[in-house]
């Protein structure tokens, strides 16, 4: 069904989705334009190392998952931060209303974020400082942009892993694939589990946290 233009304007949800798709797509096109020589060189190369790219993408995805788990554990049991990302919940609420928004979460978003935060920001910082500080600083910026400051550790840690994948493989496509895989996995989990069940699991984790920390 085609949604009338007036409804797109009056409905904030439709307008948000349409505007987001347009801006992400435009930003991606601009980024690809500036990287056109590097992209052309990759496809013209006789040594693309596709197998190595696939291997590191898979390993990188698992590494990001492990890093997330460790960061969540530290936030929960050391800093007393409740699990569950408001940023993720907000995005998924939009995706449930307009499934096309998943394209941004799983495809456009990861590509653009890796080009900006790893290729541009981390790449520039790494020329001026060692890996750790460049990855840490770009990771903090990556976390801040998501505006989920209670989970700053998780986003920063993930950003540092993506930077590691970029440096280790010298291919920005590797952290892009890993990022896309993680986001797609999160979407599948969110869509396959009832929101009330997620809320119940979060409450159980909170109760476990209170038991372990003695209520502090």
Q: Annotated catalytic residue: which of 75, 114, 146, 151?
A: 146
Our count of domains for the chain comes to 1
193 within domain boundaries = yes
Is residue 146 part of the annotated active site? The answer reads yes
Convert the pLDDT of each residue in 162-196 to its tens digit. 999 999 999 999 999 999 999 999 898 888 766 55
Q: Is residue 95 part of a domain?
A: yes
Question: Would you state the pLDDT for residue 133?
Answer: 97
Tens-place pLDDT, residues 98-143: 888 899 999 999 999 999 999 999 999 999 999 999 999 999 999 9
Specify whether the CB–CB gap between 163 and 157 falls below 8 A. Answer: no
Is residue 26 one of the residues assigned to a domain? no
**pTM for the predicted model, two decimal places:** 0.82
Position 15 in a domain: no
Please report whether residue 43 resides in a domain: no
Catalytic residue among 75, 113, 126, 151: 113
Within a domain: residue 190?
Answer: yes
Helix axes 173-192, 86-97, angle to 10 degrees: 70
In a domain, 18, yes or no: no
- 201 falls in which pLDDT band (50, 70, 90)? low
- E-strand stretches of 77-172: none
Per the annotation, the verdict on 168 as an active-site residue is no
Dump pLDDT digits (tens) for 42-71.
778 777 788 999 999 999 999 999 999 999
- Domain with 160, as residue range(s), is 50-213
> Is 4 a domain residue?
no
pLDDT (average), residues 11-37: 82
């Amino acid at each position: 069904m085609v949604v009338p233009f007036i409804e797109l304007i009056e409905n904030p949800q439709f307008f948000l989705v349409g505007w987001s798709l347009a801006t992400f797509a435009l930003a991606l096109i601009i980024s690809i334009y500036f990287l056109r020589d590097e992209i052309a060189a990759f496809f013209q190369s006789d040594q693309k190392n596709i197998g190595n790219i696939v291997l590191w993408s898979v390993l990188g995805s698992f590494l990001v998952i492990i890093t997330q788990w460790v960061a969540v554990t530290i936030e929960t049991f050391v800093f007393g931060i409740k699990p569950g990302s408001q940023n993720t919940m907000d995005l998924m609420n939009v995706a449930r209303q307009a499934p096309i928004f998943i394209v941004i979460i799983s495809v456009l978003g990861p590509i653009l974020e890796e080009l900006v935060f790893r290729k541009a920001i981390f790449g520039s910082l790494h020329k001026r400082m060692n890996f750790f500080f460049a990855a840490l600083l770009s990771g903090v910026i990556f976390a801040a942009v998501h505006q989920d400051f209670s989970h700053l550790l998780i986003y920063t840690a993930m950003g540092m892993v993506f930077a590691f994948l970029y440096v280790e493989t010298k291919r920005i496509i590797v952290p892009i694939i890993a990022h896309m895989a993680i986001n797609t996995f999160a979407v599948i989990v969110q869509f396959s589990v009832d929101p009330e069940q997620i809320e119940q699991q979060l409450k159980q984790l909170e109760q476990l946290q209170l038991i372990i920390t003695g209520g502090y």
